[in-house]
Amino acid sequence: MSHFSPLSTLPPDALLGLMTAYRADERAEKFDLGVGVYKDENGETPILSAVRKGEAKMLAAQTTKVYEGPRGNTDFCAHIEQFVFGKDHPALKEGRVLSFTAPGGCGALFLGVGLMRRMGARRVWVSKPTWPNHPNVVKSLGLEVQEYAYSRDGAFYKLGALADLSTAERGDGVIIQGSCHNPTGIDPSTDDWRELGRLCKDKGVIALLDVAYHGFASGLDKDMDGVRAFIEEAGEALISYSCSKNFGLYRERTGCFLAVGETAEGIAAATTHVADMSRATWSMPPAHGAGIVATILGDAELRAEWEAELSAMRLRMISLREQLADSLVSHTGSNLLGALKKQNGMFSQLPICAEDTVKAREVDGIYMPSSGRINIAGLHPDDIPRLGEILARYLV
């Protein structure tokens, strides 16, 4: 008997299957709405100009490939701390923040959920719906997944979220996404964030704030309002930060794990646990992407260039979103779909049932996952009128 025989085959990744089917589809008219990365008007995911320059500058100055140390690139960590907390947050001066370079936002999520487990959590709440890798990470670390209500009629369902989370037990964990929620594009207001923070504080629930689209909603500073308001109320939080989308560094695996605590002693102890988990998995974090980000953010000219490129991506997504919403409203006659305009970032979730996503694919060549999540950044303006016309048939 083979050692491998206890393993049953896991179901294939639905999104990857969709991409393969799209490529194999020979119809002249087909639309890929399922991709998970930013695309420009040519349907490409280009290397940002600031990234090209930052990378060249970093490589020219590099003298060794020796390990950087458990925290990875400490300049990178300091920049991400400033992104999350702002320049003069007292926690930064009082030793109440920790930060580690991690392999992408997922590496940071893994550290966050792992730390929750070491802090005693047995279950972790995730939004319904959420990005499928959230429950994956929670389950792979041996913790139980619970869901809290998140959206209703295209907007944040605050009452539902608060009602579900108020049944959490002391010591539970919760993952809350920063701006540009994946898959809905729906974000809580700053006041909603405050309420969530107060509830976590009152119930003794530890939150992991997952920031994967910083700068894609309203701008670098504004996009952190919710996270900062939450931290003000909750006092303590874990944060995972991804540079995959806003720097376009996907394959370089560039992320940061951070935590803020009420005492320096608590954070000092947590630091030893994060270092321990990091050592036992990747041992040392990858240096390349973090080095590029640190180079860009440490150089006024490159930073300005990156910020301009980031703004251009954001404005392009906002414009596509508006065009699609207008087209859907005019074709369906339903203002409900106008809610798309108020949503943020790369994704939105259309009110379409799973069977109709299959029908849309088979009959009309529209590829999207069964959840109805569409990537706004993957749209071409010329396709929007036709897409609106087809999609409207499934949305009313």
Residues that bind ligand PLP (CB under 6 A): 36, 104-106, 131, 177, 182, 210, 212, 242, 244, 250, 255
Nearer to ligand PLP, 96 or 134 (CB): 134
Nearer to ligand PLP, 136 or 167 (CB): 136
Nearer to ligand PLP, 146 or 240 (CB): 240
Nearer to ligand PLP, 178 or 261 (CB): 178
Is residue 210 annotated as a catalytic residue, yes or no? yes
DSSP 3-state percent helix, strand, coil across the chain (nearest 5): 50, 15, 35
Q: Cβ 216 to ligand PLP, closest distance in Å?
A: 11
Nearer to ligand PLP, 104 or 226 (CB): 104
Q: At what angle do helices 49-61 and 288-297 cross, to 10 degrees?
A: 110
Q: Cβ 49 to ligand PLP, closest distance in Å?
A: 21
Q: Cβ 109 to ligand PLP, closest distance in Å?
A: 6
Q: Which of 126, 138, 105 is nearest to 36 (CA)?
A: 105
Q: Give every CB contact of residue 358 below 8 A, 6+ residues apart in sequence.
A: 370
Catalytic position from the list 245, 306, 356, 364: 245
Q: Give every CB contact of residue 228 below 8 A, 6+ residues apart in sequence.
A: 84, 85, 86
Q: Cβ 38 to ligand PLP, closest distance in Å?
A: 11
Catalytic position from the list 125, 131, 193, 306: 131
Q: Cβ 104 to ligand PLP, closest distance in Å?
A: 3
Q: At what angle do helices 190-203 and 225-234 cross, to 10 degrees?
A: 30
Q: Which of 214, 182, 135 is nearest to 34 (CA)?
A: 182
H-type helices in the chain, by residue range? 14-24, 49-61, 74-85, 90-93, 104-118, 133-140, 158-165, 190-203, 225-234, 264-281, 288-297, 300-332, 354-364, 384-395
Nearer to ligand PLP, 288 or 331 (CB): 288
Q: Which of 193, 186, 190, 222 is nearest to 207 (CA)?
A: 193
Q: Which helix (H) or strand (E) holds 259?
A: strand 255-260
Nearer to ligand PLP, 213 or 394 (CB): 213
Q: Cβ 313 to ligand PLP, closest distance in Å?
A: 15
Which tokens hold the place of 218? 């309203």
d(CA 314, CA 202): 36
Nearer to ligand PLP, 196 or 267 (CB): 196
CA distances from 112 to 107, 120, 206, 257, 313 (A): 9, 13, 10, 7, 29
Q: Cβ 187 to ligand PLP, closest distance in Å?
A: 12
Residue pair 256/99 in contact by the 8 Å Cβ criterion: yes
Q: 378: helix, coil or strand?
A: helix
d(CA 339, CA 326): 10
Which tokens hold the place of 206? 């530890």
Catalytic position from the list 172, 187, 210, 223: 210
Q: Cβ 253 to ligand PLP, closest distance in Å?
A: 7
What are the residue numbers of the active site? 131, 210, 245
